[in-house]
Amino acid sequence: MDPISVALDLLLHFDTYLPQIIELYGFWTYVFLFFIIFLETGLVIMPYLPGDSLLFVAGALAGARLLNVWLLIGALILAAVFGNIVNYWLGITLGMKVLEKQHSLVKKEHLETTRAYFQKYGGSTIVIARFVPFIRSFAPFLAGVGKMQYPRFLMYNVLGGGIWVIGFVLVGYFFGNLSIVQENFGLIIYAIIGLSLLAVAFIVINIIRTRRRLIRGHLIRW
């Protein structure tokens, strides 16, 4: 494999290679983990990076005493929070400049729906989106596009990031090394995906409600 392919494979499957990375790089593993979570939450174009599985595996390795669990949690919470902050400001600056152009493919009424949605449901969405792959990378960007008030965004960003990181890392820490968990890891991932779909349904329902409310208020047309 060429160097670029190797680098991409390592980046996209970082959770799989984590034990070898710890053995080779020691303390620098925390920096690498910070970098991966920061990119996954901080750049809307990076939703393919490992998130939930990486937190779980890192927690399991901390449970095996290969990583310090408190240092791990602290580094990953900072990565998750600062990643979302960067994503938010990309949405509120770069995103708005692109989407509000005269010839933008995004209709003005869609921007109105986004703004109205984040005014009403922004807080819960920022928290819930943490547990939904792909949406996790888009939600803070759209919060910026929707001009969600920054203090409110920051509060729910810290809350959601903390719950997400602490939850997955501690589950991995306490249960990741159990044989029954290791033997059924694939089923656990499917269960996480199932719960994520419920979260997606919640967000979609609220988007529909927002659009209907705007239509009734004659703010936009179908």
Which helix (H) or strand (E) covers residue 179, if one does? Answer: helix 179-183
Confidence of residue 213 (pLDDT cuts 50, 70, 90): low
Q: Looking at the domain assignment, is residue 222 inside a domain? A: no
Q: Looking at the domain assignment, is residue 98 inside a domain? A: yes
Please tell me the predicted confidence (pLDDT) of residue 13: 65
- pLDDT tens for 24-41 read 988 999 999 999 999 988
Q: Cα separation of 136 and 55, whole Å?
A: 14
With beta carbons less than 8 A apart as the criterion, state whether 70 and 28 touch: no
* Residue 67 pLDDT exceeds 90: yes
Q: Looking at the domain assignment, is residue 221 inside a domain? A: no
Phi and psi torsions of 8, nearest 5°: -65, -40
Residue whose structure tokens are 């937190």: 55
Please tell me the predicted confidence (pLDDT) of residue 179: 75
Number of domains making up the chain: 1
With beta carbons less than 8 A apart as the criterion, state whether 164 and 80 touch: yes
Q: Six-digit token pair at 109? A: 């009424």
With beta carbons less than 8 A apart as the criterion, state whether 80 and 140 touch: no
* Residue 164 pLDDT exceeds 80: yes
Show the domain range for 103: 3-216
- pLDDT tens for 116-161 read 777 777 788 888 888 887 888 888 998 888 888 999 999 999 999 9
* Residue 50 pLDDT exceeds 70: yes
- pLDDT tens for 99-121 read 655 444 455 555 666 777 777 77
Q: Looking at the domain assignment, is residue 33 inside a domain? A: yes
- pLDDT tens for 70-79 read 999 999 999 9
Which helix (H) or strand (E) covers residue 89, if one does? Answer: helix 69-90
* Residue 197 pLDDT exceeds 50: yes
Q: Looking at the domain assignment, is residue 70 inside a domain? A: yes
Q: Looking at the domain assignment, is residue 56 inside a domain? A: yes
Which residues lie closer than 8 Å to 23 by C-beta, 6 or more apart? none
